[in-house]
C-alpha cells in the first residue's frame, strides 16, 4: 500500500490536465489505471488472487472507458437535433440557436463527452434535454418498475421451466416429453408481444381481472403494484421459460449419461432419486448461466412489452428518448446497462477464480 | 377463513374499489404522446398544450371548442384607430395557483419573455409585431405594435402565449403554476399527470374534482385501454380502424371532429423537375384523395384543395382544380418533356397518415410514371433531412398549427415556395383588421396556392376521440391541441 501512495504522488502532477471542469477526475482516473497496470504486473509479494482481481478490475475500467466512448460518439452521430425536435416546424432559426445554447449543445462534442463521463463517475448523469430533470433521478424512477418486472418475469419463468424441464427429462421420448417439447417449441417461436396481446384480450378486456396496462405505483401497496405487473411479467416469462425448460432438459439428459449417475443407480437409487439427488445439482451450471443472461435481457429488452402495457419503465424511457433525440438520456441508460453487464461479468470472473485456483495464474 | 368467506371478502373489496371508480367527480383521459416538459411557452410539442391549455394555463384571449376566440384573462380591450395599440383590461381577482395575484406586470413579463432575444418560444413569430408592452396600472396593460396585425387577438389565444408568473418561471417545466380552473398536482414521468380542481378559480369553476392524463402511444394498447375501461376518454385515438367497433358498443361514444391539420404531399419547389409548375400540376392530378382518406384513415378526413381548414368561414372548396385525372397528369408530364416519367423520393415520418397514405400516394404516382422511392424516417431525421436540409423530393406531413397559410410567404421554408405576389398578399392580410376584407384576402391566398399547385393537398386531419357514454363536455373539434376539461362532467 505504501508503494501505491508514493506512486500516486509521483504521477499525480504528471497526469493532471483540464478538460471542461473535470480536472481532478481525469487526473485520478489516469493515475488509477497506471497504478493498476504496474501493480498487476509486479510479480513479487502480491498474492495471485489479488493480482488477478486487479487485472480484472483494470480490464473492467478499460472496457467501461471504451464503451463510454463508443456509446457517446455513435449516438451523437445519428442525425437529428434535440433542440429542433423540441421547437418543431414553426420555430425561427434564432430560437433554435437560443435553445441549443440553453441546453449546452453549442459546446464541442469532446467537452460534452468529458462532462458526461466526469459527471457519471460522481453519480451525476446530467440533465435530460427534453424533460429538464436529472437523468439519474429519471433512471432510478424507471428502475423501480423495470427491475421488479424483470425479477417477477424471471421467477415466473423459473417456476414454469424447472418442473417442465425436469418432467420432460425424466420421461424422455414419452408422450409427456413430446408435449413439453412441443409447447416450448411454440414458446420459443412466438414473440412475447403476441402473448401480451392475447393476455390483454382474455384477462383485461373479457374477464376484467386485470387492467389492460399501466402501473398502479408502489405507493398503492405491494399487491397493487404486483397486480399491475402480472400480465407483462407473464408475457415476458413465457418465451424465456420455454428456452429455460429446453436448456434444463438437455442439461439433465447430459448428466444422466455421466459415470457418477451410473454409480448412483448402481448404489440402488431409482432413476428418479438419482435425478433429484445428483443430476439436478450438476445440471444447474448451464441453467444458472442462462438465467443470468436472461435477467439482463429482461431488464433491457422489455421495450416492446412496456409499450404494449404502457408501463413507465426503462425501455419506454429509452424509446421516448430516442425519438426525441434526448441523447444524454439514451447514452446514460445504455451506459448503465453496459456497466451492469460488465460488472456482473467481473464478479463472475472473480467467483470462478475463487472456486478454481488454476484460473488465477492465467492472464 | 373458509374459502367461501375469502371469496366474499374479495368480492366486497372489488365492489368497494368499483364503487370508488364510478364516483363521478374525476376522469382519466388518455392521449398518445406524453409532454416532454410542462412549459407550453418553450416547446412545439402539442402534448404540452393538450394537458395544460385552458386547464392550467390561460392567455389574454382563448380558443373555444368551435375555434372562436373569446376573452380570457383580459375581460375587454380597446384597439386604437390605427390598429397599433391594444389596451387590455384584465379580469379582477385572478390568482396564480401559488397564491400570487395576476397583474399587468405578469402580462408584460410573459410577452417580453416570449419575444426576447434569447427566447425559446417555438412560435416566436406570433410576437414579432410587438414593439412595446407597457403596464398602465395593475389591471391594465397596453401593447403597441410596430405594424397593424389583423390576427393579433387570435395569436394571443395560442398556448404559446399563455400568461406565466416571474415567481414560478424557474420551475415551470416540472411544476407549472398557472391561473386555470385546474392546478397541476403530480407527474409520474412515463405514466401520468394528475390535475386537481382550483378552488379559488376566478371564473366558472371546473365541475370535476380531479383529472388524470395517461399516455398510451401504442395503437393496440390504446384500443385495449378503452375496451377494458381503464380510461374514461381517449383524445386523439390513434387507430381509426377500431372506431366502428366503439360506435357499435353502447358503453362508448365516438367524437369525430376536425383539426387544424392540413395533411399535404409537400413538394420541394426548388428541386427539378418540381420547379416546373406543369410537373406539380401532374402530381396533383395523379392523386385520388378519397382513396387515400379511405385507405389510410378509414374514411375519416375531409378532402382539401388548398392549405386551409374547411371549417373556417373563409374556406373555398378548390378540390376541383386538382381533381383525380391520371390521363391529364400523363399529358402534363409529356408537355413538361417527361413523357417517360421520372424518379424521386418520398420521405414518410412515423404517423399513420404519412406511412399508410404514403404507400397509396406512391402507387398512384407510379400509375402516371412517377417512381417515388419511399423512405421511412423518424421525426428527428425528418426535421434534419427534409425540414432543415431540404433534401427531399416529396414528403407527407400534417401542418397542425392553426391558420398557418403564412408559411407560404417564407421562401426559405422547407418546400421553398417563392412567389412575390403571394408574399405581398400575406403582408396585406397581416395589416388588415377589417373582417370582410380579411376573408377576401384569405380566399385569394387559397386560390393562388391551388393554382400554383405548390403542394399536393390531401385532406384535413380528423380528430377522433372515444369516451365512455356518460362523459359530456369534451371538445369534438381541435381548434388548437387541447383537452379542455374545464366544462367536462359526467351525466347522471
Q: Which of B15, B263, B380 to mutate to test the interface with A (most CBs of A within 10 A)?
A: B380
* Average confidence (pLDDT) over B71-79: 95
Question: What pLDDT does B78 receive?
Answer: 94
Give the E-state strand segments of B216-281 in sequence order.
233-235, 252-267
pLDDT tens column, B23-34: 589 999 999 989
Using CA coordinates, name the residue in chain B closest to A196: B221
Task: Name the residue facing A208 among B42, B217, B228 (closest C-beta).
Answer: B228
Instruction: Tally helices (H) and strands (E) across chain A.
Output: 16, 0
For residue range B260-289, what is the model confidence (pLDDT) as tens digits? 999 999 999 999 899 999 999 999 999 999
How far is residue A292 from each of residues A286, A296, A300, B352, B363, measured CA to CA in Å?
10, 7, 13, 39, 49
Q: For position A5, what pLDDT does the model report?
A: 45
Rounded mean pLDDT, B442-460: 96
Average per-residue pLDDT for chain B: 91
CA angle B174, B139, B93 (to 5 degrees): 65
In this structure, the number of other CB atoms found within 10 A of the CB of residue A258 comes to 13
Q: Over the stretch B389-405, which tens digit does the pLDDT of each residue have?
A: 999 999 999 998 888 89
Residues in chain A: 363
**Tell me, what's the pLDDT at A39?**
67
Closest-CA distance of chain B to residue A266, Å: 48
pLDDT at A91: 82
Higher-confidence residue of B205 and A290: namely: B205
* Among chain B residues, CA nearest to A85: B380
Q: CB–CB of A91 and B388 under 8 A?
A: no
B290-308 burial by CB neighbour count: b if 16+ within 10 A, else e? eebbebbbbebbbbbbbbb
Provide the pLDDT for residue A54: 84
Residues of B in contact with A197 (CB under 8 A): 220, 224
More confident residue, B329 or A102: B329
Return per-residue pLDDT of chain A as tens, 363 residues.
444 444 444 444 444 444 444 444 455 566 667 777 776 666 666 677 787 888 888 888 889 999 999 999 888 887 788 888 888 888 888 888 888 888 888 888 888 888 888 888 888 888 898 888 899 999 998 989 998 999 999 999 999 999 999 889 888 888 989 999 999 999 888 888 888 889 999 998 888 899 888 898 888 888 999 999 999 999 999 999 999 999 889 888 888 888 888 888 888 888 778 877 787 777 777 787 788 778 777 877 688 888 889 999 988 898 888 888 888 999 998 898 888 888 877 887 777 777 667 766 654
Helix (H, G, I), strand (E, B) or coil at B252: strand
For the segment B220-234, the average pLDDT, to the nearest whole number, is 93
Give the whole-angstrom CA distance, residue B438 versus residue B448: 15
Give pLDDT tens digits for A155-175: 999 999 999 998 898 888 889
> Residue B100 in contact with residue B165, Cβ under 8 Å?
yes
Chain B residues whose beta carbon lies within 8 Å of the beta carbon of residue A97: none
Phi, psi of B117 (to 5 degrees): -55, -45
Residue of A75, A88, A224 best to disrupt the B interface, most CBs of B under 10 A: A88
Chain mean position to CA B22: 31
Which chain B residue has the Cα nearest residue A207?
A: B228
* Structural domains of chain B in order of their starting residue, each with its CATH number: 25-34+179-257+463-490 (3.40.190.10), 46-171 (3.90.76.10), 261-461 (3.10.105.10)
Q: What is the pLDDT of residue A10?
A: 44
Rg (CA), chain A: 26
Q: Which residues of B touch A86 (CB under 8 A)?
A: 36, 42-45, 122
Report the complex ipTM: 0.76
- DSSP secondary structure of A175-222: HHHHHHHHHHHHHHHS-HHHHHHHHIIIIIIIS-SS-SS----GGG-H
| Cα distance between residue B397 and residue B417, in whole Å | 16
Indicate the pLDDT class of residue B178, thresholds 50, 70 and 90: very high
What pLDDT is recorded for position A346? 82
User: Which of B36, B48, B194, B252 is the best residue to mutate to test the A interface, defined by the most A CB atoms within 10 Å of its own CB?
Assistant: B36
Within 8 A by CB and 6+ apart from B469, the residues are B250, B251, B252, B253, B491
Amino acid at each position: 500500500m505504501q508503494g501505491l501512495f508514493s506512486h500516486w504522488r509521483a504521477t499525480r502532477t504528471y497526469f493532471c490536465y483540464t478538460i471542461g471542469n473535470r480536472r481532478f477526475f481525469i487526473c485520478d482516473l489516469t493515475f488509477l489505471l497506471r497504478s493498476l497496470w504496474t501493480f498487476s504486473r509486479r510479480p513479487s509479494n502480491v498474492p495471485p488472487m489479488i493480482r488477478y482481481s486487479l487485472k480484472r478490475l483494470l480490464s473492467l475500467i478499460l472496457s467501461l472507458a471504451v464503451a463510454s466512448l463508443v456509446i457517446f460518439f455513435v449516438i451523437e452521430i445519428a442525425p437529428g437535433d434535440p433542440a429542433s425536435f423540441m421547437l418543431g416546424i414553426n420555430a425561427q432559426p434564432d430560437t433554435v440557436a437560443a435553445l441549443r445554447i440553453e441546453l449546452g449543445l453549442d459546446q464541442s462534442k469532446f467537452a460534452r463527452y468529458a462532462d458526461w463521463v466526469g459527471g457519471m463517475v460522481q453519480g451525476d448523469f446530467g440533465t435530460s434535454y427534453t424533460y429538464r430533470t436529472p437523468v439519474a433521478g429519471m433512471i432510478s424512477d424507471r428502475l423501480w418498475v423495470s427491475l421488479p418486472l424483470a425479477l417477477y418475469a424471471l421467477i415466473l419463468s423459473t417456476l414454469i421451466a424447472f418442473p417442465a424441464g425436469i418432467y420432460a427429462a425424466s420421461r424422455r421420448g414419452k408422450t409427456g416429453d413430446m408435449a413439453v417439447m412441443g409447447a416450448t417449441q411454440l414458446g420459443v417461436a412466438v414473440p412475447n408481444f403476441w402473448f401480451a396481446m392475447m393476455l390483454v384480450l382474455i384477462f383485461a378486456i373479457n374477464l376484467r381481472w386485470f387492467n389492460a396496462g399501466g402501473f398502479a405505483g408502489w405507493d398503492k401497496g405491494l399487491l397493487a403494484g404486483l397486480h399491475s405487473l402480472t400480465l407483462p411479467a407473464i408475457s415476458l416469462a413465457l418465451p424465456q421459460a420455454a428456452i429455460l425448460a429446453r436448456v434444463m432438459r438437455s442439461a439433465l439428459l447430459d448428466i444422466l449419461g455421466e459415470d457418477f449417475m451410473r454409480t448412483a443407480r448402481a448404489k440402488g437409487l431409482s432413476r428418479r432419486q438419482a435425478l433429484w439427488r445428483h443430476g439436478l445439482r450438476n445440471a444447474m451450471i448451464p441453467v444458472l448461466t442462462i438465467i443470468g443472461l436472461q435477467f439482463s435481457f429482461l431488464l433491457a429488452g422489455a421495450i416492446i412489452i412496456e409499450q404494449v402495457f404502457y408501463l413507465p419503465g426503462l425501455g419506454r424511457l429509452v424509446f421516448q428518448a430516442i425519438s426525441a433525440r434526448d441523447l444524454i438520456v439514451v447514452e446514460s441508460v445504455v451506459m448503465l446497462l453496459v456497466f451492469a453487464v460488465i460488472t456482473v461479468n467481473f464478479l463472475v470472473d472473480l467467483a470462478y477464480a475463487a472456486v478454481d485456483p488454476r484460473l488465477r495464474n492465467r492472464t | 377463513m373458509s374459502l367461501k368467506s375469502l371469496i366474499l371478502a374479495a368480492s366486497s373489496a372489488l365492489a368497494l374499489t368499483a364503487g370508488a371508480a364510478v364516483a363521478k367527480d374525476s376522469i382519466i383521459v388518455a392521449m398518445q404522446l406524453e409532454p416532454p416538459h410542462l412549459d407550453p411557452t418553450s416547446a412545439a410539442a402539442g402534448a404540452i398544450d393538450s394537458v395544460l391549455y385552458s386547464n392550467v394555463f390561460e392567455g389574454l384571449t382563448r380558443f373555444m371548442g368551435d375555434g372562436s376566440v373569446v376573452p380570457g384573462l383580459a375581460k375587454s380591450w380597446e384597439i386604437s384607430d390605427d390598429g397599433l395599440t391594444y389596451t387590455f383590461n384584465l379580469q379582477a381577482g385572478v390568482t396564480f395557483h401559488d397564491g400570487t395575484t395576476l397583474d399587468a406586470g405578469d402580462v408584460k413579463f410573459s410577452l417580453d419573455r416570449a419575444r426576447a432575444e434569447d427566447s425559446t418560444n417555438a412560435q416566436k413569430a406570433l410576437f414579432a409585431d410587438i414593439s412595446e408592452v407597457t403596464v398602465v396600472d395593475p389591471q391594465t396593460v397596453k401593447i403597441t405594435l410596430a405594424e397593424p396585425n389583423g390576427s393579433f387577438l387570435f395569436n394571443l389565444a395560442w398556448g404559446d402565449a399563455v400568461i406565466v408568473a416571474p415567481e414560478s418561471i424557474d420551475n415551470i417545466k416540472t411544476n407549472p403554476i398557472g391561473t386555470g380552473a385546474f392546478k397541476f398536482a403530480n407527474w409520474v414521468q412515463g405514466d401520468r399527470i394528475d390535475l386537481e380542481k382550483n378552488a379559488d378559480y376566478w371564473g366558472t369553476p371546473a365541475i370535476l374534482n380531479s383529472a388524470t392524463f395517461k399516455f398510451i402511444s401504442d395503437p393496440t394498447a390504446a384500443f385495449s385501454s378503452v375496451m377494458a375501461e381503464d380510461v374514461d376518454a381517449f383524445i386523439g385515438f390513434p387507430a381509426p380502424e377500431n372506431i366502428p367497433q366503439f360506435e357499435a358498443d353502447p358503453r362508448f361514444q365516438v367524437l369525430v371532429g376536425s383539426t387544424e391539420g392540413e395533411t399535404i404531399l409537400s413538394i420541394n419547389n426548388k428541386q427539378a423537375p418540381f420547379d416546373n409548375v406543369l410537373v406539380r400540376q401532374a402530381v396533383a392530378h395523379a392523386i385520388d384523395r378519397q382513396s387515400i382518406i379511405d385507405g389510410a384513415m378509414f374514411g375519416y378526413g375531409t378532402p382539401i384543395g388548398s392549405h386551409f381548414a374547411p371549417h373556417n368561414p373563409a374556406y373555398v372548396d378548390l378540390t376541383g382544380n386538382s381533381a383525380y385525372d391520371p390521363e391529364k397528369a400523363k399529358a402534363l408530364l409529356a408537355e413538361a418533356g417527361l413523357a417517360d416519367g421520372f424518379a424521386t423520393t418520398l420521405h414518410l415520418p412515423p404517423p399513420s397518415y404519412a406511412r399508410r397514405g404514403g404507400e397509396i400516394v406512391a402507387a398512384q404516382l407510379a400509375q402516371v410514371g412517377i417512381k417515388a422511392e419511399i423512405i421511412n424516417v423518424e421525426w428527428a431525421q425528418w426535421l434534419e433531412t427534409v425540414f432543415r436540409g431540404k433534401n427531399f423530393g416529396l414528403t407527407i406531413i400534417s401542418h397542425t398549427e392553426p391558420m398557418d397559410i403564412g408559411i407560404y410567404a417564407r421562401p426559405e421554408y422547407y418546400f421553398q415556395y417563392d412567389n412575390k405576389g403571394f408574399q405581398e398578399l400575406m403582408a396585406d392580410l397581416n395589416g388588415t383588421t377589417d373582417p370582410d376584407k380579411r376573408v377576401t384576402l384569405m380566399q385569394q391566398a387559397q386560390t393562388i396556392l391551388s393554382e400554383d399547385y405548390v403542394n399536393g393537398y390531401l385532406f384535413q386531419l380528423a380528430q377522433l376521440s372515444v369516451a365512455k357514454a356518460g362523459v359530456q363536455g369534451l371538445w369534438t373539434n381541435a381548434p388548437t391541441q387541447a383537452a379542455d376539461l374545464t366544462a367536462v362532467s359526467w351525466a347522471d
